């Protein structure tokens, strides 16, 4: 990683939408101190780009085809616990924010944020600080004040990721391949997710995932 103070901040952009990456590459590089050194459109490419370029900050979306940003965060942090990762996504649900931070993210901003807020968050994360956009902070505050909580509060990060992929239409075999797990392990997770959420059918699991912002019906 570079000496941030003297050479600026190198950035890896990870998003499955090329137009989003192109737009934010222009925004970031117009700042003078931010330099996009690589792009990726999925979790596997993100891991490879991180190994190849060792950027100061990884800016990535949580929702991508295949393994999600949460899995990318875990893999990158497993390789380098010092890696600084800023989640940049359309979802501000508290359960996803908490999962991202638990996985090792340093910051979380939504795509509804002003570009200046994203730039500010990147610089904060590069300094080793935690960064959140205002809507994310409000979502966490509301969740902490709510007595009901989320049904997903009972699930671990891996279970949330498997539920997200399942609700998105992935088969057991595809999930196992994406997450480097055995089919039997995914089946066991599936059973435990049903038990913890109280879902009796797969259709109920999909509705739960949609109500918690993990996917769309």
pLDDT in tens, 149-177: 667 777 888 888 899 888 888 899 999 99
CATH 3.40.50.2300, the chain: domain bounds: 4-144
CATH 1.10.10.10, the chain: domain bounds: 151-211
How many C-beta atoms lie closer than 10 Å to residue 155's C-beta? 21
Identify which has the larger pLDDT, 56 or 103.
Answer: 56
Q: Supply the DSSP symbol for 196.
A: H
What is the distance between the alpha carbons of residues 132 and 47, in angstroms, rounded to a whole number? 23
Q: What is the mean pLDDT of residues 24-45?
A: 94
Residue percentage of the chain with pLDDT more than 90: 50
Tens of pLDDT, residue by residue over 196-214, are: 888 888 888 888 888 877 7
Indicate whether 217 pLDDT > 60.
Answer: no
Architecture of domain 4-144: 3-Layer(aba) Sandwich (3.40)
Assign domain 151-211 to a CATH class. Answer: mainly alpha
What 3-state DSSP class applies to 59?
strand
Cβ partners under 8 Å of residue 109, min gap 6: 86, 87, 88, 117, 118, 121, 131, 132, 133, 136
Residue 154 is predicted with a pLDDT of: 79
| Residue carrying structure tokens 């459109």 | 41
Tens of pLDDT, residue by residue over 57-87, are: 999 998 877 777 888 898 999 999 999 999 9
Whether this model's pTM surpasses 0.75? no
How big is the chain, counted in residues?
Answer: 217
Cβ partners under 8 Å of residue 72, min gap 6: 14, 43, 46, 47, 60, 64
Residue 4 is predicted with a pLDDT of: 52
């Amino acid at each position: 990683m570079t000496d941030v103070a003297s050479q600026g901040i190198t950035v890896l952009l990870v998003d499955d939408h090329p137009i989003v990456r192109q737009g934010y590459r222009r925004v970031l590089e117009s700042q003078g101190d931010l330099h996009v050194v690589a792009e990726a459109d999925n979790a596997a490419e993100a891991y490879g780009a991180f190994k190849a370029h060792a950027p100061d900050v990884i800016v990535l979306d949580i929702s991508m085809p295949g393994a999600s940003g949460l899995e990318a965060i875990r893999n990158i942090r497993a390789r380098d616990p010092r890696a600084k990762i800023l989640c940049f996504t359309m979802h501000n649900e508290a359960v996803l924010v908490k999962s991202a931070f638990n996985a090792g993210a340093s910051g979380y901003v939504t795509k509804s944020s002003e570009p200046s807020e994203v730039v500010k968050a990147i610089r904060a994360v590069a300094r080793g600080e935690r960064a959140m956009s205002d809507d994310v902070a409000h979502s966490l505050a509301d969740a902490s004040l709510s007595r009901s909580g989320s049904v997903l509060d009972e699930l671990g990060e891996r279970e949330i990721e498997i539920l997200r992929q399942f609700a998105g239409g992935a088969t057991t075999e595809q999930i196992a391949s994406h997450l480097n797990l055995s089919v039997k392990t995914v089946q066991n997770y599936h059973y435990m997710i049903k038990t913890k959420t109280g879902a009796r059918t797969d259709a109920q699991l999909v509705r739960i995932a949609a109500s918690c912002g993990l996917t769309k019906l």
